[in-house]
Amino acid sequence: MESFLSPLSAEKVTDKIDLIEGAVHRALLGHVYRSPENPGRDALVLKSTLHPSKPGLSKLEGQARMLHDLASIELQAMELAFRTLNEFPDAKSEFREALAELTLSEASHLQLCLNRIQELGFQWGHWPVHLGLWSATAKEDSLIDRLLIVHRYLEGSGLDAGETLLQRLAAVNSPGTKAVVQKIFHDEIGHVEFGTRWFRYFCESEGLDPDHHFKSRITDLTERLPKRLEPVSHKLRIQAGFNQAELDFLEERRLTQAKYAPSRFRERQ
């Protein structure tokens, strides 16, 4: 019987942060936690399409709402990194140690967001959250799948969105909010590079061509993966290890998905 509360099962976001370091340490020592179907939440969970409209970033409420959405993403990123660490106890030790550091980095990002939300006069749970990132993964995923989905697709998409967000924040007089967002997206380049490096390592270890598998597996997982319509950040993704063939594939995929998106997204083309 499990004798430690899992940060995945805990509901309070503060408890999750308090638990994560000890849980990571125990996972590295071989303790395996039960992975719940969905992680616990102390905020209302709704599909993102049902969330209320967002105020502009020139308003404190708009900044707090943006950081709340970002906190929800960082929370899921922390949980997904821990989920992989927990569900693949026999993976290469060097990989697991690097993943443990990444998990704690995501926890620090979450804490930065929560702190800044409070400084702006709001609290976690003031707005609903979604589980879109968690829902993109499944218990039957291979380790290669998890690296592709979480670190190359989801976090890679975060680099695209982050570049756009930083451009929008450039005109906002809020040094505290900018500092949080800049810190997170600077670190995320390394998180995506981690995924790129180990995805290729494990593909080659299993006799798979990384470039071919990247394209074919993303295509296979289309129904499960969130659509990404933001412009692809070639500069940031190259820093994170993407090659030109992968960028060309992502551009083609984005343009295809944009054809069926609402007009407000098509206007970005």
Write the DSSP symbol of residue 36: P
State how many domains the chain has.
Answer: 1
**H or E, element range at 176:** helix 175-205
Reduced to 3 states, what is the DSSP secondary structure of residue 106?
helix
Quick check: is 160 in a domain?
yes
Return the higher-pLDDT residue of 9 and 3: 9
Spatial CA neighbour of 183 closest among 233, 120, 114, 112: 112
Residue 266 confidence (pLDDT) above 80:
no
**What is the distance between the alpha carbons of residues 180 and 62, in angstroms, rounded to a whole number?**
15
Specify burial of residue 108 (Cβ count, 10 A radius: 0-12, 13-18, 19+): middle
Quick check: is 6 in a domain?
no
Q: What is the predicted pLDDT for the residue at 149?
A: 98
Quick check: is 7 in a domain?
no
Window from 51-60, 138-147, 253-262 with minimum mean pLDDT: 253-262
Q: What is the predicted pLDDT for the residue at 228?
A: 83
Q: What is the pTM of this model?
A: 0.94
Quick check: is 184 in a domain?
yes
Q: Give the structural domain span for 203.
A: 13-266
Spatial CA neighbour of 8 closest among 97, 103, 109: 103
Residue 26 confidence (pLDDT) above 50:
yes
Quick check: is 41 in a domain?
yes
149-200 confidence digits (pLDDT tens): 999 999 999 999 999 999 999 999 999 999 999 999 999 999 999 999 999 9
Looking up residue 225, the CATH number of its domain turns out to be 1.20.1260.10
User: What spatial distance separates the first Cα and last Cα of the chain, rounded to whole Å?
Assistant: 54
Q: What is the mean pLDDT of residues 14-29?
A: 98
Q: What is the predicted pLDDT for the residue at 264?
A: 45
61-114 confidence digits (pLDDT tens): 999 999 999 999 999 999 999 999 999 999 999 999 999 999 999 999 999 999
205-248 confidence digits (pLDDT tens): 999 999 999 999 999 999 999 988 889 999 999 999 999 999 99
Q: What is the predicted pLDDT for the residue at 262?
A: 57
78 half-sphere exposure, CB direction, 13 A CA radius: 28
Spatial CA neighbour of 215 closest among 269, 261, 186, 253: 253
**What is the distance between the alpha carbons of residues 147 and 100, in angstroms, rounded to a whole number?**
14
Q: What is the predicted pLDDT for the residue at 223?
A: 94
Residue by residue, what is the 3-state secondary structure of 117-172?
HHHCCCCCCCCCECCCCHHHCCCCCCHHHHHHHHHHHHHHHHHHHHHHHHHHHCCC
Q: What is the predicted pLDDT for the residue at 51?
A: 97
Quick check: is 87 in a domain?
yes
Quick check: is 82 in a domain?
yes
Q: What is the predicted pLDDT for the residue at 261?
A: 63
**What is the distance between the alpha carbons of residues 99 and 82, in angstroms, rounded to a whole number?**
8
Spatial CA neighbour of 229 closest among 191, 190, 261, 263: 261
Quick check: is 2 in a domain?
no
**What is the distance between the alpha carbons of residues 33 and 63, in angstroms, rounded to a whole number?**
36
Q: What is the mean pLDDT of residues 138-147?
A: 97
